[in-house]
Amino acid sequence: MNKNLIELYAEHKGKVSDKWSLYLEIYDRIFKDMREDALALLEIGIQNGGSLEIWARFFPLANSIIGCDINPKCLNLKYTEQSIELIVGDANEAATYQAILSISNTFDIVIDDGSHRSSDIIKSFCLYFPSINPGGLYIAEDLHCSYWAPFEGGLRDGLSSIEFFKRLVDILNFEHWTTREQRADSLQSFFDKYGCTITEEDLSSIHSIEFINSMCIIRKKSMQHNALGKRIVVGSDASIVSEVVALNNLPYKLDLNLIEKQSFFKRLMKYFR
């Protein structure tokens, strides 16, 4: 029987790994169905490098487990596991990015445990989320730092990393917006501040967002799996609201022109009361 992640951490004797206990519980849950996959994992920020050894045991069939760290001392880290690759450099710099993608140009899991500064977290998401495979996961760790000024944040700081991820919740619900804005428009202040961008297509592939204490987990799926879809009405007794039966199998569609007309008439009617 495969040991869970908590058990693997408890018995680990190799290079040091530093994770909060809550993270281990969450990772064991969200990675459980991926354990036997020939996946590609990227972890940004590896410190002493022990997490890579543990990921290699947790994902024994992984094709690539890539660790990236800016600390040049990481060049001294050596691994016996064939799946582990190490890149030393700033993950958001072009040369480092190209070095990572030369090993694997797509990923099933990306974990950002890097500098914890809002600028780096946001830039890394914009840079690496497009490389996530459909069904894959992007995880930002230690978002509690976004509430602290030394990490370019603060409580309700409008340009912190936690506020960026909160904004993605609106993007997840884009089809219900009653404005002419595009998804990326709502992130423009972050793009201007941190010098990064991400396309409409990539934003449309956000399938779900889960917030846990100090973590944000974003799952990616192709756009057709992210729409509200068709209305499903079942049953035969509609004695209270019979009109609902006619809605069965109708796709959701926002009529923006109608909403704008209704809004106009509502504003107009207040002058005739």
pLDDT digits (tens, 9 = 90+) for 169-204: 999 999 999 989 999 999 999 999 999 999 999 999
The answer to whether residues 213 and 23 touch, using CB atoms and an 8 Å cutoff, is: no
- In the annotation, is 116 catalytic? yes
| pLDDT at 123 exceeding the cut of 70 | yes
Decide: 210 and 220 in contact? Cβ < 8 Å: no
May I ask the CATH architecture of the domain 5-225? 3-Layer(aba) Sandwich (3.40)
* Buried/exposed code over 20-55 (b: 16+ C-beta within 10 A; e: otherwise): eeebbebbbebbeebbeeebbbbbbbbebbbbbbbb
The pLDDT tens digits of the residues spanning 239-271 come to 999 989 998 999 988 876 656 656 544 654 554
Q: Which of 116, 144, 207, 225 is catalytic?
A: 116
Domain boundaries for CATH 3.40.50.150 within the chain: 5-225
Whole-model pTM: value is 0.92
